[in-house]
Amino acid sequence: MTPLLEASGVEVTIGGTEILRGADLTLEAGELVAVVGPNGAGKSTFARAFCGLRRPDAGTVRWSGTDLADLKGRKLARLRAFVPQRAQVPNGVRVSDAVRIGRSAHLKPLQGFTADDRETIANSIARAGMVGFEDRMLSTLSGGEMQRVQIAVGLAQGAPVLVADEPTAQLDLGATAQVSKLLRRLVADGLGVVLIVHDLALAAAIADRVVVMCDGRTIATGPPSEVLQSQLIADVWGVEAELVRHQGRSGLHVEWLEPTRAESS
């Protein structure tokens, strides 16, 4: 079957600085791919490039087999939903209003919402775990609640792919776990999810595959247990660390301090 997303050799230059030098990613239906890498690796720029928010300077991007250059506006919105790292929170907007905006990609000019549209909006709110929040103002939500609203907005688009740029970056442990479990449920429903994330332990716990980026390039891709080895972590992040996984749980054992004489002897 044709992949939901194929990005190959993507290059982006901003202000004369080469940010991406050859980034690659493939996504299938029912798969969660985590893009990881150190600060400045180009992860968010890569996401914005293959999502069409910033056109690549070189390389190819295909959504469900169609070249990104041939996709604009509503056509692209129906193929992928993008959840930004820091969503704008306008005053006076309720949760239900925000999710309705996500459904607008399916409306023709001057067309109102149909019964199917309203059902999709309600289902999107329910799938994101936000039932009971419909009349809450966005400005009153916690960080975790706001991220789930953003995911509901993406679901309302009806796109087969959800791209989330650091959705857990500002969240506490409980909210991070909620968002992570939500993303896995969406994958189980057949959605394709691309997760841009810093947390290697989180990526290892919930991703089917990881894409490791460094200096604007994809340098490794594959199952987390095969890719996130101690040597690669040392080469890319410059730290001594070991990834430990056990029965759906994961942790990163990091050498934070230099060992003392007693410990090294």
Q: Give residue 259's pLDDT.
A: 67
- Domain hosting 7: range is 1-79+159-228
Global pTM exceeds 0.75: yes
Write down which residue in 119, 143, 158 finishes a domain.
Answer: 158
69 and 96 share one domain: no
Same-domain check for residues 176 and 49? yes
Query: Is position 263 within any domain?
Result: no
Q: Supply the pLDDT for residue 248.
A: 66
Place of tokens 């959605």: 191
**Separation CA 187–CA 223 (nearest Å):** 16
Local confidence pLDDT in tens for the 265 residues of the chain: 799 999 999 999 999 999 999 999 999 999 999 999 999 999 999 999 999 999 999 999 999 999 999 998 889 999 999 998 877 777 789 999 999 988 887 776 656 778 998 999 999 999 999 999 999 999 999 989 999 999 999 999 999 999 999 999 889 999 999 999 999 999 999 999 999 999 999 999 999 999 999 999 999 999 998 999 999 999 999 999 898 877 767 788 888 887 655 555 5
Mark whether 165 and 35 lie in a shared domain: yes
pLDDT value at position 114? 86
d(CA 132, CA 136): 8
Classify each residue of 70-104 as buried b or exposed e, where b means 16 or more C-beta atoms within 10 Å of its C-beta.
ebeeeebbbbbbbbbbeeeeeeeebbbebbbebbe
Question: Does one domain contain both 72 and 168?
Answer: yes
User: Is residue 260 assigned to a domain?
Assistant: no
Residue at which a domain ends, from 130, 158, 186: 158
Q: Residue 4: which H helix or E strand, with range?
A: none
Residue 59 has which token pair?
């390389």
Token pair 């936000």 in the structure block, residue:
130
Same domain? 141 vs 44? no
257 in a structural domain = no
Q: Do 193 and 218 fall into the same domain?
A: yes
- What CATH number is attached to the domain comprising 172? 3.40.50.300
The count of structural domains within the chain is 2
Residue 240 lies in a domain: no
In this structure, the answer to whether residues 57 and 146 fall within a common structural domain is no
Rounded Cα gap, residues 57 and 69, in angstroms = 12
Residue 144 placed within a domain? yes
| Domain presence at residue 262 | no
* Assigned domain for 253 exists: no
CB 225 within 8 A of CB 53: no
Same domain, 126 and 174: no
Within a domain: 43: yes
Question: Do residue 130 and residue 195 come from a single domain?
Answer: no
Same domain, 71 and 163: yes
Residues 133, 61: one domain? no
Question: Which of 142, 158, 174 corresponds to the end of one domain?
Answer: 158
- Pair 75, 168 in one domain: yes
Name the β-bridge partners of 222.
210
Q: What residue has token string 């907005």?
A: 153
